[in-house]
Amino acid sequence: MTDLHHLAIPGSQFAIRVTPKAQRNSVALRDGQVRVNVTCVPQDGKANAAVLKLLAKALGVPKSRLSVLRGQTSRDKVIGVG
């Protein structure tokens, strides 16, 4: 898993691109953009919950400190660090 500790600054926000229904869960930094692949289906917020859990692990912060600021139903999201 990609180390994203440099993004875990309280009060910051960053953009990600999500791929639901992927073969495996992963977080990668490609071309300067954070890409998150999750195996969950994008239904009833399951994929968003899986994204926040994976990002929390990669950032080294509790998942309660992360939130989706924009893009609840989109593949392109803005994540806030609290």
CATH number at residue 62: 3.30.1200.10
Section 27-40 average pLDDT? 95
Confidence category of residue 3, pLDDT binned at 50, 70, 90: confident
| Amino acid at residue number 70 | R
d(CA 69, CA 2): 22
Range of the domain at 21: 5-81
d(CA 77, CA 24): 20
Is pTM beyond 0.85? Reply is: yes
List pLDDT tens digits, range 56-82.
Answer: 999 999 999 999 999 999 999 999 999
C-alpha dihedral (54, 59, 60, 65), degrees to nearest 10: -80
d(CA 44, CA 32): 29
Number of domains the chain contains: 1
